[in-house]
Structure 1
Amino acid sequence: MYDLDTRKRALALVARGRSLNSVSKETGVSRAAIRSWQVRLDPLGRSTSCPRCRDVPRPPEDLPAYSYLLGLYLGDGCISAARRGVYFLRVACADAWPGLIDACAEAMRAVLPDNKVFRVQRQGCQNVTSHSKHWPCLFPQHGPGRKHERKIALEPWQQEIVDAHPWEFIRGLIHSDGCRVTNWTTRIVDGERKRYEYPRYFFTNTSADIIGLCTRTLDRLGIEWKPLNQSRAAVTISVARRASVALMDTHIGPKY
């Protein structure tokens, strides 16, 4: 989350007549976060009560881990009700990516360190699962039906975390509903045909809102992308520019 000095500086720029868009570009803070600071300047304090029962939510224990887990949840996660007001967060991770399974479990433990994390084997995948009464408030995007059938928008406090830890958020999205592939092309150089590697990243989702969260974060990181398959139910975006791919390689890391 952002410190008080950052918040005051952004609001001071707005008070001088600057637009939210220009202040956002200068400070690296999203417009949604700046708007929320106009209502409440002080950061949300840590509460020992259940955040579902109070106006002031309890921040996650580990903010970078939360940003990563948020990306995983939006891609392949769901929250379901159990008994006595307990909910379980479940993220489906393919058996082909054991490193991803470990990373997901570690993120869950970091966000709620007092809660156990389980791995339930299913055909071709493991469901990384943790039970808590707090999952619905930590992921307020939870609701009935599929994600692409309802509005998905980040709360201001979530947007602050994503703004502060954007690469972790993108890593979670790519590790859930994305991939890195390597294509090959040939060129004639000095009369000789040579073969060149052509890596790229893809992210696919059926929710236009989740696609928007991904592309806006990529824009803020300076990653060039383009949409594919817009006429289909699922939208795919591609990152193919060499400089952008190299930057993604530096921060994303492989699933395995």
Structure 2
Amino acid sequence: MRRGVTNRVVAEHLGIPRGTIGWWRSEDRKHCGEAYVRPTDCPRCTGREVDQPAYAYLLGLYLGDGHIISKRKQHHLSVFCDASWTGLIDAAEAAMRRVMPLPKVGRVQRQGCVEVKSYTQHWTCLFPQHGPGKKHDRRIALEDWQQAIVDAHPWEFLRGLIHSDGCRVTNWTVRNGKRYEYPRYFFTNKSDDIRKLCTDTLAKVGVQWTILARGSDPFNVSIARKASVALMDAHIGPKY
């Protein structure tokens, strides 16, 4: 263990519970006067190359339906997913593991949704937008390194936003006695800053959008033009 072998490997090798191994190592550090440093694979702290497509997608999920708890003895990133979208839940968990493989990742069943959680205090390094209060009550701006990733992988970022606070629906109308159906996409978020991140990225990939107000509140970004919907279908598609 002093050579850096993990608690899990030692526990499996000796057939002893991992908690016992951890306690032995803790006592050994005290005996040797060592300070405990929790291992991390945080790209911002270690210089490890981040999986950019996975990060762009996870950033979109975080800005929509995610939050970070960061306080003493409780550090984790949570993304809340509708329980009916099992593929989305798998994608959220896979993105967390690809961005930071070392932390523990789990799922918590809630009423009507599933909370996907990854446990490490280093999520605040990757999401500096974290702060007290609701996201729509504070300024949300990407740092230069985040914007560079979004610029390189705009569709992954948009997919994360749509998978969190967006949807694909089918509208219909009747003309001359004939029913016509047409699909459209919506992205709905109370934060002006997050909506602008969405619309700026849509414009960069050639998607036309409009704002539909809910009463007097411009919370809805609408994508209804046929060519733009086809572009969204090619890169994002319905939730699954």
Q: Which residue is 2:239 aligned to?
A: 255
Q: Is the 8 A contact 2:41 2:100 kept in 1?
A: no
Q: Cα distance, 1:232 vs. partner?
A: 3.9
Which residue of structure 1 aligns with residue 142 of structure 2? 154
Shift in Å at residue 92 of structure 1?
A: 0.6
1:63 is aligned to 2:55: no
Give the structure 2 partner of residue 74 of structure 1.
Answer: 63
* 2:219 alignment partner in structure 1: 235
Partner AA of 1:61 in structure 2: V
Distance 1:156 1:241, change over 3 A: same
Over the matched positions of the two proteins, sequence identity in percent amounts to 65
Find the residue that maps to 2:109 and give its secondary structure. Answer: strand
1:216-235 to structure 2, matched below 5 A, reads 216-229=200-213, 231-233=215-217, 235=219
SS class of match (2:178): strand
Q: How do residues 1-256 of structure 1 correspond to structure 2 at under 5 angstroms?
A: 58=47, 61-84=50-73, 87-188=75-176, 193-229=177-213, 231-233=215-217, 235-256=219-240
C-alpha contact 1:202 1:236 (8 A) present in aligned 2? yes
Q: Pick the structure with greater CA Rg.
A: 2
Native 8 Å contact 1:60 1:138 kept in 2: no
TM-score (norm 1): 0.73
* One-letter amino acid matched to 1:166: P
List alignment gaps of at least 5 residues for structure 2: 1-39
Aligned-partner Cα distance in 1 for 2:43–2:71: 18
Corresponding residue pairs, total: 201
RMSD: 2.0
Asked if structure 2 preserves the Cα contact closer than 8 Å seen for 1:51 and 1:134, the reply is: no
Listed as ranges, the gaps of 5+ residues in structure 1 are 1-47
Following TM superposition, by how much is the alpha carbon of 1:113 offset from its aligned partner in structure 2, in angstroms?
Answer: 1.2
Measure how far apart 1:132 and its partner are.
1.2
Q: For the residues of structure 1 that align with 2:48 and 2:208, how far apart are their CA atoms? A: 32
Task: Give CA deviations for 1:124-151 in whole Å, capped at 9, x if unaligned.
Answer: 1110000112100100000000001111
**Distance of 1:253 and 1:202 partners within structure 2:** 12
Alpha carbons 2:211, 2:218 under 8 Å: kept: no
Do 1:80 and 1:89's aligned partners in 2 also have CA atoms closer than 8 Å?
yes
Deviation of residue 62 (structure 1)?
1.0
Shift of 1:194: 2.9
